[in-house]
Structure 1
Amino acid sequence: MVSLADLTPPPALGALDGRYRSVVAPLVDHLSEAALNRQRLHVEIEWLIHLTAHGVVPGAGALSDTEQDELRSLIDEFDETAVAELATIEAETVHDVKAVEYFLRRRLVDRLDGRSDLAELVHFACTSEDINNLSYALMVRGAVTEVWLPRARALVAQVGAMARELASTPLLAHTHGQPATPTTMGKELAVLAWRLERQVRRVGDADYLGKLNGATGTYGAHVAAVPGVDWQQVSRQFVEGLGLTWNPLTTQIESHDWQAEVYADIARFNRVLHNLCTDVWSYISLGYFAQVRGQGTVGSSTMPHKVNPIRFENAEANLEVSNALLDVLASTLVTSRLQRDLTDSSMQRNVGTALGHSLLAVDNAGRGLAGLDAVPEAMAADLDRNWEVLAEPVQSVMRALAARGVEGMSNPYERLKELTRGRRITGDDLRAFVRRLGLPPEEEERLVALTPVTYVGLAPQLVEHLPTRGTGDGSASS
């Protein structure tokens, strides 16, 4: 039997790098192993430039603007050749960060006309985690802000647009799976859009922390090498210069609390989206939505009439995988034995997979929603079969009248329960009951005119609370 592992290229082990590669490909630029090494190289280059530009180490020669540009061009040119060279160096060093250091030292000679005088300033006074924590902060920030957030915001906008379109479409609510007070499809979608929007806003407001303070967070090597420098200020300027928030108090590692916060917020978004998927799936099963647009595909291999809601089911599965990873990331990364253990190193390599499954779910949910058409006739038919839901407004009017001292309004709940519980009633049944109550004429006519379709309260207006656009800025519509 041919070993599939020997094929060129070898088949992907995971679905994200195989079947769903096209959907999650943008994350590769941020969260792959190659992206990690590229970001490490970026941090090492910027640290070298920072040290020389500010004259931190006395006597060290400065880099000219041209030389700085040449070093920074290594990031733009980082390609498969660089990836392969780093892999070769790491095979010798058996240390990934040291491999990046040696790679940059070579470039000082190859690209800067022999500036080997700066070789010992590469990785100066740094522990590997000084480079890694900043690299991961930049990687996760890029993945979230440039890839995940735009996709999530687009989905929220899509749900919001559907909510507005269906704001006045009456819907029989179901609480505990039983017919309940009518609402509108738009209002129910608006609830989900509002919840998703709030989580998007939290993710958008996230802090990305970083540190550069040595082997145990004390600046020990820094002070020993150059005692007269304000190393805390140097560190702060450097970290903030990368666009990150400076963390002044750490062990060997940056504590990763910010990562736990971001992953928890994304996981919460995922859970709300999972709720949307199960609700829409249920509305499809009730016939409230038809899957008609873009459905040229096979629904069932044996039943020609079927169009399965696979987009929402796929989204559910990927959300569950994503959350399993996000939850373990958030719980594991906040703990490190004493001044450092290595669990975070392996754990952080799963961030791309966690966000990838979330991104795939967002894509599936969006495609699923785009293929739906509302069926108001089906919703109206269900409402017309459940006139008993109007027991609530009738008994509520009776309670209000009783409070005003109107005779004959006692025990309204019990009287409506006797009429409606455990059986279906028609519009004629309810109207006959109302006319026997002895209500004031104005109240009687108002209740007689009421139908399950018109008993939606303020549901259409409530949709207006959604933000004007699904941008995560929280601005309310007018």
Structure 2
Amino acid sequence: MLFPAPDMGSLQAISPLDGRYSNKISPLVDYFSELALIKRRVLVEIEYLIQLSEDGVIEKIDSKTKKELRNIVENFDLNEGKLVKDIEGNIRHDVKSVEYYLRHKFADLNFSYLNPFIHIGLTSEDVNSVAYRLMLKEVLGNVIIPKLELVSGELGKFIAKNKRVPMLARTHGQAALPTLLGKEFAVFVSRLKIQIEQLKRIRLRAKFGGAVGNMSALKFAFPNYDWMQFGQNFLSKFKLDRALPTTQIAPGDDLAEVFHVMMRINSILIDLDQDIWRYISDGWFVQKGKKGFVGSSTMPQKINPIEFENSEGNLQLANGMFHFLSGKLPISRLQRDLSDSTVLRNVGVGFGHSLIGYLSFIQGIKVLGIDKQKIKQALFSDWSILGEAAQVLLRNTGEQDAYEQVAELLRGIKVGEKEWKKLVSKLKLNKRDMQKLLKLTPANYIGLSQVMADHRR
């Protein structure tokens, strides 16, 4: 079975991500679920406490205690998450409930002397900005980028098998010039690789600065301490840059940068999905049917391009979410408004639909073949596509109206090989150039497309 059927509980899910597609997006649960968010908040609070100790702001925490503190994060599971949610149900504050949860844990571990320093001088955004960026950084490195590289790899295999196949290129939906199948697909590989590299280069910038971003509480309580350096030390633990200066929240510009690149990647694949759909529609590409699979509820002969259609639809949905997020998150009223809080919880939706799109594309490209005969038939069906070569050759002799001469012969008509040769023989070319033109065919007028096919980034 390609993708196991979802469990029975998912049949009651409102979102198809947690329902129909739950098995496909399961790798994202560790990054975008409520449990994943709470666990990273716990991580940030614990590491902040340890950093206070390591930098000498509070009493030194010995290595054994540090290990036990970090074990709270390591062992944080669904049951622990429920404890935090139970506290939140009473106090109606998600980040404060993590602080209260840690107080209970510290009491159990005889660490109550550390309780006053949990979350000291911080505001919720000092925790959330780190937690969300950690989730994003990890999901990109562990799931999204590897999957995109797999997409690129599968495309590379398809190109390798069909690189030298000549085909008809079309512009404005009309026959244009001959090209190579491998070159046309290499365009997409090159575009993808550029954006994947861009995604890898993005630096995420978290906030550390307390209420309204001025570190006022910490500076007031510990006036002689270098809090600017502390902020750098703390965020470097997570391999995050520090946003400076800030209001009470980290500017969402770095998040918007990620979403914009994701939109470009998805748009490239939507473009390719639609091209492949057309090639299948024309009979140039064929799909290998799987035994037992149903193409149509009423037409038994059909093998529909469902993987590419599914990929297209999900990537369009993802881009709708990324477009909204990239426009919303860089904006916050004055020094802080809370409208971004509920919005941020939906970041995983964009990545969920993206992942489904990538998986569907991979599955589709793996079973995609070509019908060389139909591709050749389309290519040789109209020799007027060689008209460009004729008019350029004629220009090279100094003819002032070379383009017009060829247009008068060929525009608006389809010609076969014999008629083509008969028509071009009327052109004012010397014997050598005429022979050169008459030797030309739709299969060999391909310019540097072989070089282009190999020139993938």
| Range of TM-score over shorter length | over 0.9
Unaligned runs of 5+ in 2: 1-7
Distance in 1 (CA, whole Å) between partners of 2:102 and 2:442 is: 72
Aligned residue type for 1:458 = L
Q: Distance in 2 between matches of 1:340 and 1:364?
A: 40
Q: CA deviation at 1:437?
A: 3.0
Quote the residue 1:470 is aligned against. none
Residue 166 of structure 1 deviates from its aligned partner by 2.1
What aligned pairs does 1:11-50 form with structure 2 within 5 A after superposition? 11-50=12-51
Tell me the residue number matched to 2:387: 391
CA offset digits 1:293-315 (Å, max 9, x no partner): 54641111111111000111111
2:78 and 2:183 map into 1 onto residues whose CA distance is 51
Aligned match for 1:349, one of 345, 350, 363: 345
Task: Note if contact 2:10-2:19 (Cα within 8 Å) is conserved in structure 1.
Answer: no
Q: What stretches of structure 1 move > 6 A for 4+ residues in a row?
A: 7-10
Of the three residues 405, 408, 412, the one matched with 1:422 is 412
Equivalent residue, structure 2, for 1:316? 312
SS of structure 1 residue aligned to 2:68:
helix
Equivalents in 1 of 2:207, 2:104: separation in Å? 26
Matching residue's letter, 1:188: E
TM-score scaled by structure 2?
0.96
AA partner of residue 13 (structure 1): I
Q: Contact between 1:164 and 1:463, CA under 8 Å: does it hold in 2?
A: no
Letter in 2 for 1:82: E
In 2: Cα distance, 1:77 partner to 1:234 partner: 28
State the alpha-carbon separation in 1 of the partners of residues 291 and 249 from structure 2.
51
Alpha carbons of structure 1 residues 179 and 296: separation in structure 2 relative to 1, 3 Å: farther
Contact 1:174 1:180 in 2 (8 A): yes
Render the CA deviation track for 1:351-374: whole Å, top value 9, x for unaligned. Answer: 001110011101111111111101
CA contact (8 A) 1:133 1:253 kept: yes
Return the offset for 1:434. Answer: 3.1
CA contact (8 A) 1:387 1:425 kept: yes
Correspondence for 1:71 = 69
Q: Distance in 1 between matches of 2:304 and 2:175?
A: 25
2:283 is matched with 287
1:252 matches 2:242: no
Offset, 1:205: 0.8
**Conserved? CA contact 1:163–1:188, under 8 Å:** no
Structure 1: where are the runs of 5+ without partners? 1-6, 403-408, 468-478
Q: Return closer, same or farther for 1:352/1:436 CA change in 2, 3 Å cut-off.
A: same
* Match in the other structure for 2:330: 334
Specify the alignment match of 1:445 in structure 2. 435
C-alpha deviations, 1:84-142, integer Å up to 9, x for none?
A: 1111111112111111111111222223xx12111111111111111011101101111
Equivalence for 2:5: none
Query: Using the alignment, how far apart are the partners of 2:111 and 2:234 within structure 1?
Result: 23
Letter in 1 for 2:12: P
When residues 383 and 74 of structure 1 are mapped into structure 2, their CA distance, relative to the original with a 3 A threshold, is same
In the other structure, the counterpart of 1:411 is: 401
State TM-score, norm by structure 1. 0.91
Aligned to 1:221, the other structure's residue is in SS state helix
**How many residues matched?**
450
Q: Which amino acid aligns with 1:100?
A: V
What is the identity, as a one-letter code, of the residue corresponding to 2:332?
Answer: S
Measured after TM superposition, the shift of residue 167 of structure 1 is 2.2
Q: Which residue of 1 aligns with 2:83?
A: 85
For the Cα contact (< 8 Å) 1:315–1:360, is it kept in 2?
Answer: yes
Distance in 2 (alpha carbons) for counterparts of 1:457 and 1:100: 64
Matched residue SS, 1:414:
helix
The answer to whether the Cα contact below 8 Å between 2:289 and 2:303 also exists between their aligned partners in 1 is no
CA contact 2:394–2:428 (8 Å) conserved in 1:
no
On the 8 A contact 1:212/1:235 being kept in 2, the answer is yes
Contact 1:166 1:185 in 2 (8 A): yes
Alpha-carbon deviation of 1:464? 1.5
Residue in 2 aligned with 1:101?
99
Task: Determine the structure 1 residue equivalent to 2:450.
Answer: 460
Q: CA deviation at 1:445?
A: 1.8
CA distance in 1, matches of 2:373, 2:348: 44
Report what 1:476 is aligned to.
none
Q: 2:235 aligns with which of 239, 242, 246?
A: 239
Q: C-alpha displacement at 1:269, in angstroms?
A: 0.8
Mapping for residues 374-389 of structure 1, pairs under 5 Å: 374-389=370-385
